[in-house]
Structure 1
Amino acid sequence: MRKRKNETILELLRMSRELHACGAFDDDAIRRIEHAGMLPPEPLTPEDFRALLEQPSCNVYMLARMLNTTARRLRRWAQGLGKPTGAELRLLRMMRDRGVDAVFP
């Protein structure tokens, strides 16, 4: 069922973007629609998290301060004993994709 729901959301987003291109939706409306249709990020594996911690501009204490959490919690994520969720997961995925310095200059 989840896959079907995602396909429906993606189809609605595609149609909304086409209507925006025709001028039926203004920029604010399309932004609200895209925000409402955002899919949850894929979970971060412990290997991805460890690779993030091994970057030269990042250590566990600095990352804990950036995410407003504890270093112990980050170590547990690196060991696979817990998983980041919500805003933490989005920030970590952005840091992994763009680099720590791009997200937190």
Structure 2
Amino acid sequence: MKYKSDIMEVVHSMMEDAHKVGLLSDSKMKEMDRLCLTKITPLTPADIKAIRERELLTQAAFAIHLNISKNQVSDWERGVKKPSGTALKLLTLVKNKGIEAIA
């Protein structure tokens, strides 16, 4: 998870604990998620290529860091496929914090 700030991470953690013991409803927990967590937005093929190039990585090396195939990176950069789920979260993390965040 990517938090908007360190304090939001602390607040979210406290609210998760309250939710686990039944002191916070599911709807309120979802609201806390929305308030505390960074929204993951789709990345364009150009965005993905720019992230990789900024990190000075080949498609093959980038793929190794993301635990995917080189062909998958190529498909994203050409717009043949779009990253989603865990892959999109990892890409967003690399975009925001650099490759060291997942290395």
Runs of 4+ in 1 over 6 A off after TM superposition: none
**Equivalents in 1 of 2:72, 2:15: separation in Å?**
43
- Give the equivalent residue in structure 2 for 1:95: 94
Gaps of 5+ in 2: 1-7, 21-25
Q: Indicate the structure (1 or 2) with the bigger Cα radius of gyration.
A: 1
Shift of 1:29: 2.5
Bigger mean CA deviation after superposition, 82-91 or 34-43: 34-43
Gaps of 5+ in 1: 1-16
- Give the equivalent residue in structure 1 for 2:17: 28
Report the identity percentage: 27
Q: Structure 1, residues 12-70: CA drift from partner, whole Å, max 9, x if none?
A: xxxxx9xx7xxxx6662369936983576211111110101212442211221122211
Candidates 10, 15, 37, aligned match of 2:33: 37
- Give the equivalent residue in structure 1 for 2:5: none
User: What letter corresponds to residue 72 of structure 1 in structure 2?
Assistant: N
User: What letter corresponds to residue 44 of structure 1 in structure 2?
Assistant: L
| Number of residues of Structure 1 aligned to a counterpart in Structure 2 | 82
Give the secondary-structure state (helix, strand or coil) at the position aligned to 1:37. helix
**TM-score (structure 1 length as normaliser):** 0.61
**TM-score (structure 2 length as normaliser):** 0.62
